[in-house]
Chains A and B, each alone.
Chain A
Amino acid sequence: QKEVEQNSGPLSVPEGAIASLNCTYSDRVSQSFFWYRQYSGKSPELIMSIYSNGDKEDGRFTAQLNKASQYVSLLIRDSQPSDSATYLCAALGRGFQKLVFGTGTRLLVSP
């Protein structure tokens, strides 16, 4: 199993809907997780970090961490076409400081 896994997508949702992006992880990563948004041709932008079991909300974004099932999710409420991007899930490697990235999920929000 890869350390961090994501479905590559694309995930297509209509404008105004909730987009749900999922990521699973292995025992080889620690309990610190990050969601990055990357627009085409741009560098990744950190949008959420989560360290504890449960939900963390920031505006239209909610990150969810379930340690028992080893998955972390990002929900985007009221999706907008401007949310169309690739979303990268990352985890802090266990025992060291580097981030391990998933392959990213491409989100398409149609007007």
Chain B
Amino acid sequence: SAVISQKPSRDICQRGTSLTIQCQVDSQVTMMFWYRQQPGQSLTLIATANQGSEATYESGFVIDKFPISRPNLTFSTLTVSNMSPEDSSIYLCSVEEGAGSSYNEQFFGPGTRLTVL
């Protein structure tokens, strides 16, 4: 499976600031996803990021709050804007392998643990 890295691995930020999280993959992938996992909770999909098109956001998530870039097939960024303590969470990127087949397996990066004070 693809090797996925995220930066930063963790950060502590002040309310009202923004943080950009980077996701790098060691091979070209069509579909990348951004998830949030709040403490003690399961994963919630924020958006799907495909290269060459606008990200598709899930209900409850908006581009102004979580702008996403996908400049090429190996890289994506998620920005958490105007942060509040409620944004404290683990943010995960994932990539889909087996695209074009029936497999649709997703593999996750190591995550970014964000704490907002």
Contact = CB atoms under 8 A, between A and B. Distances in A.
Interface of A: 32, 34, 42-46, 49, 51, 88, 92, 97-99, 101-104
Interface of B: 1, 31, 33, 41-43, 45, 48, 58, 90, 92, 96, 102-111
Closest 8 CB pairs between A and B?
A43-B108, A43-B111, A103-B42, A101-B43, A101-B42, A44-B108, A43-B110, A92-B104
Nearest to B110: A43
Contacts of B103: 32, 49, 51
A52 to B, nearest CB: 10
Contacts of A34: 105-106
Contacts of A103: 41-42
A42 B43 CA distance: 13
A97 B104 contact: yes
B45 A98 contact: yes
A97 B48 contact: yes
Contacts of A97: 31, 48, 96, 104
Specify the main secondary structure of chain B where it touches its partner: strand
A99 B108 CA distance: 12
Nearest to B4: A43
A97 B90 CA distance: 22
A77 B90 CA distance: 31
Given A51-B102, A51-B103, 15 more contacts: A32-B102, A32-B103, A43-B92, A44-B108, A46-B1, A46-B105, A49-B103, A88-B43, A92-B104, A97-B48, A97-B104, A98-B48, A99-B33, A99-B104, A102-B42
Contacts of B110: 42-43
Given A51-B102, A97-B48, A97-B96, A45 B42 contact: no
B42 A88 contact: yes
A29 B90 CA distance: 25
Nearest to A45: B108
B105 A49 contact: yes
